Structure 1
Amino acid sequence: MSRMKKIGLSSLLLLALLIVTVFNFAPAYVEKQFNRVTALESLPISQQALDLHRQLFIGDWHSDSLMWDRDLNRPSDFGHVDFPRLQKGNVALQMFTTVTKSPSGLNYEQNEADASDNVTKLALLQRWPVDTWQSLRARAIYQADKLHEFVEENPDKIRFIDSKSTLTDFVAQRAVEPSLVGALLGTEGSHALDEDLANIKVLYDYGFRMMSLQHFFDNKLGGSLHGTSGDGLSDFGREAVQMMQSLDIIVDVSHSSEQVVRDVLAMSQKPLVMSHTGLLGHCDSPRNISDTLMQQIAEAGGLIAVGYWDGAVCDISPASVAGAIEYGIALLGAEHIALGSDFDGATKVAFDTSELVELTQALLTKGISQEDIRLVMGDNMLRFLQQNLPD
């Protein structure tokens, strides 16, 4: 072999090694930059908090963990959620939301609909199937398939919940086996519809039981809270909401413009969920809609799920998250407040899902009653699902 050929072959081998290294190690490196836990000095955990936490039925309306290249059946030392950590945190119900489009910079103020999309880059880096490079519906289905595979691989510890009957069975089984986790599917924005109403039924058939309408961009359904138009529901959006509710798909108005929220409230036949948010009167952030609209959602039987990141609660400490919950209870009533962590949603938090007892302690320290803590931590979510999932 000539010297030039040897040099060429060596260069190809080095390139191949570089490519393998990038695809094997870069996804974890990227996630570590986005999903961080910044441990803060916290109050000691009392025996009262430990005892109460063990008794709680805990539910979380929003985690984006399926977006990342991790085996959720194995414990990880980065990110916020996996099934072993859900079990350690005594979490009974976890809604896994599928992200299909997200802007570079994660700007809460204003994003053009054709702005650079992080999920496309992530799909390439994590070697998602080719159809996901262009189709947002394919991205949602790919993430749903991942969850179904995790459940199939770990049937003794995870149950997939898509109806009132599967929820009833799960609750009965968990009374016997407290480490069981119930998993549900939702979308992060209806970009996943790819502007086709028929995809609502397609996603329903894959097990999706909650759909949010917008994410960081305006779309065919209407305006995003972080878009450019401020528009309300379009005619397409009205048809989509009607179809979702006819299938008993829960409508999530997180990230929707205030006018979209008003329009959905005016036409909705069922209560709404805001799956991850803060409250404006507690944290004056462009991520949070007005308290008046929150009251209208609650008055219509809806739930407001409080998140743990700075855009929602301003200060990520457990005390601040508990403060947002305390504010929400005073404003809306304890029966309308729930948890919506936004774990693994490119967020920095003070605790991961295995450390939720820190929130229980912070709520007790605020003087919130154990009855209200039970409602907020999961009983409200359980009741809402019992009433609103398909038969």
Structure 2
Amino acid sequence: MRKLSLALLILVPLGAVIFFALPNLLDRFMNSVAGAPPYRASDSAEQLHETLFVADLHDDALLWQRDLLERHAYGHSDLPRLLEGRVGLQVFSTVTKTPRGLNYQSNPGDSDNITLLAMAQRWPRETWDSLLARALYQAGKLERAAAASEGRLVLVRNRGELQAFLAAWQRDPQRVAALLATEGLQPIEGKLENIDRLYDAGFRIAGLTHFFDNEVGGSAHGLDKGGLTALGRQVIARLEEKRMLVDLAHASKPLIDDVLAMATRPVLVSHTGVAGTCPGPRNLSDEHLERIAASGGVIGIGYWEAAVCETSVGAIVRAIRYAADRVGVEHVALGSDFNGTVHTPFDSTGLAQITEGLQRAGFADAEIAAIMGGNVRRLLLASLPQQ
């Protein structure tokens, strides 16, 4: 009995140490880069990059127990590295649920990896069993980081705030605008009124689905992969009424079709690939590229292998070139999926390498400026609520 008690005294604290250390280990292992910084680009690319307003449509940094204001030697981004990469606007997404056995083909929605992650990262008790609470908690993390940043990280909720930020950025680009998005609308927990809760917390972009079908509609990775539900149709109407942008990343093909059939405002795809360079369950067909562009929307090209079929700058640029040739430069943007458990060619300090790749692909300087951030800026200025 004494030996058993002694073993328990050793094993229980050891288990706790491992449990609470696991999120950091996962972060380091799953948010990786192909090569260590510094990331070099040509002199002409570096010079052009220093003139650009760079915007990225998708970053999952809020999921992890990292201080956004401190520089880290792992993961893909934080405020110091965003500033070094010349990022002027970053969309931060909130991840609230992912199924066990996560894959690109087919996932049920009856399991969840984020519960244990929330516990291990010591999130508030209410986040353990409420997806809405998880989204609101991550929104609060971003708000607190912005408040402590001495004006270097600015949370933007409306057109007026974005215009004020852009004026300040022109005088001093050592600042980043932050916009909140949700990765899937499972946080509304089947209740239309929770759209208002998300809006009041600062969310302005709404991804409809993530890796499983939910009450709003089908995922490209779900079991049924269906279109909009009856609730989903109400949700689209409410999002448009509140001038929240609809994000079709991870959406099933029928869901994309249903949304485009009823949308009266531009829609976006925050992080994706294109089937023309990389076939895959969630990569956009030519038809969907054309219809999304026809809505006035933009398509954020991702950096990871399943999006572009290779972990390289060349593969990213090939997807950008394909989309631009198909629907026009004005509808193409960056959608890194940084910190979304992906392996990328670089972290956010390496974005000048994309600028160089676009130069080599024959894009003019004005076209590069549009792709790297100008198109997102235009879309947000036209689409966000006025106040």
TM-score range, shorter chain: over 0.9
Q: Which deviates more from structure 2 when the two are superposed, residues 129-138 or residues 201-210?
A: 129-138
* In the alignment, structure 1 residue 109 sits paired with structure 2 residue 105: yes
Structure 1 counterpart of 2:202, one-letter code: G
* In the alignment, structure 1 residue 254 sits paired with structure 2 residue 259: no
Partner of 1:200: 195
Whether contact under 8 Å (1:287, 1:311) holds in the other structure is no
Name which of 30, 34, 37 aligns with 1:38: 34
Partner of 2:345: 350
Partner of 1:304: 299
Structure 1 counterpart of 2:124, one-letter code: P
Q: TM-score, normalised by structure 1?
A: 0.95
Whether contact under 8 Å (1:232, 1:260) holds in the other structure is yes
Whether contact under 8 Å (1:89, 1:356) holds in the other structure is yes
Q: How does 1:324-363 map to 2 (within 5 A)?
A: 324-363=319-358
CA distance in 2 between counterparts of 1:172 and 1:158 reads: 15
- Give the superposition deviation at 1:22: 2.4
CA distance in 1 between counterparts of 2:248 and 2:310 reads: 23
Partner of 1:76: 72
- Give the superposition deviation at 1:26: 2.1
Root-mean-square deviation over aligned CA pairs:
1.9
Structure 1 counterpart of 2:75, one-letter code: G
Q: TM-score, normalised by structure 2?
A: 0.96
CA distance in 2 between counterparts of 1:37 and 1:44 reads: 15
Structure 2 counterpart of 1:375, one-letter code: A
Going from structure 1 to structure 2, the CA distance change for 1:87 and 1:110 (only over 3 Å counts) comes to same
Partner of 2:363: 368
Question: 2:180 aligns to what SS in structure 1?
Answer: strand
Whether contact under 8 Å (1:339, 1:378) holds in the other structure is yes
Deviations 1:237-275 (A, max 9, x none): 000010011001101011111111111111111000000
Name which of 170, 175, 179 aligns with 1:175: 170
Whether contact under 8 Å (1:40, 1:350) holds in the other structure is no
Going from structure 1 to structure 2, the CA distance change for 1:12 and 1:240 (only over 3 Å counts) comes to same
- Give the superposition deviation at 1:287: 2.5
Structure 1 counterpart of 2:113, one-letter code: N
- Give the superposition deviation at 1:155: 2.7
Whether contact under 8 Å (2:329, 2:371) holds in the other structure is yes
Partner of 2:24: 28
Partner of 1:92: 88
Going from structure 1 to structure 2, the CA distance change for 1:206 and 1:121 (only over 3 Å counts) comes to same
CA distance in 1 between counterparts of 2:39 and 2:360 reads: 9
Q: Which deviates more from structure 2 when the two are superposed, residues 21-30 or residues 184-193?
A: 21-30
- Give the superposition deviation at 1:230: 2.5
Whether contact under 8 Å (1:307, 1:313) holds in the other structure is yes
Deviations 1:125-147 (A, max 9, x none): 21211111111101101110110
- Give the superposition deviation at 1:106: 2.7
Q: Which runs of 5+ in 1 are unaligned?
A: none
Whether contact under 8 Å (1:23, 1:126) holds in the other structure is no
Whether contact under 8 Å (1:285, 1:314) holds in the other structure is no
- Give the superposition deviation at 1:11: 4.9
Partner of 1:65: 61
Q: Give the count of matched residue pairs.
A: 386
Whether contact under 8 Å (1:223, 1:231) holds in the other structure is yes
Partner of 1:275: 270
Whether contact under 8 Å (2:273, 2:308) holds in the other structure is yes
Going from structure 1 to structure 2, the CA distance change for 1:177 and 1:13 (only over 3 Å counts) comes to farther
Question: 2:56 aligns to what SS in structure 1?
Answer: strand
Structure 2 counterpart of 1:104, one-letter code: R
- Give the superposition deviation at 1:234: 0.9
CA distance in 2 between counterparts of 1:294 and 1:197 reads: 29
Deviations 1:134-189 (A, max 9, x none): 11101101110110110111132111100001001100111111111001100000
Partner of 2:224: 229
Whether contact under 8 Å (2:77, 2:347) holds in the other structure is yes
CA distance in 2 between counterparts of 1:352 and 1:254 reads: 21
Percent sequence identity is 42
Going from structure 1 to structure 2, the CA distance change for 1:7 and 1:311 (only over 3 Å counts) comes to closer
Question: 1:128 aligns to what SS in structure 2?
Answer: coil
CA distance in 2 between counterparts of 1:42 and 1:262 reads: 42
* In the alignment, structure 1 residue 380 sits paired with structure 2 residue 375: yes
- Give the superposition deviation at 1:31: 1.1
Whether contact under 8 Å (1:313, 1:324) holds in the other structure is yes
- Give the superposition deviation at 1:43: 9.7
Name which of 286, 290, 295 aligns with 1:291: 286
* In the alignment, structure 1 residue 130 sits paired with structure 2 residue 106: no
* In the alignment, structure 1 residue 184 sits paired with structure 2 residue 174: no
Structure 2 counterpart of 1:264, one-letter code: V
Structure 1 counterpart of 2:350, one-letter code: E
Whether contact under 8 Å (2:68, 2:78) holds in the other structure is yes
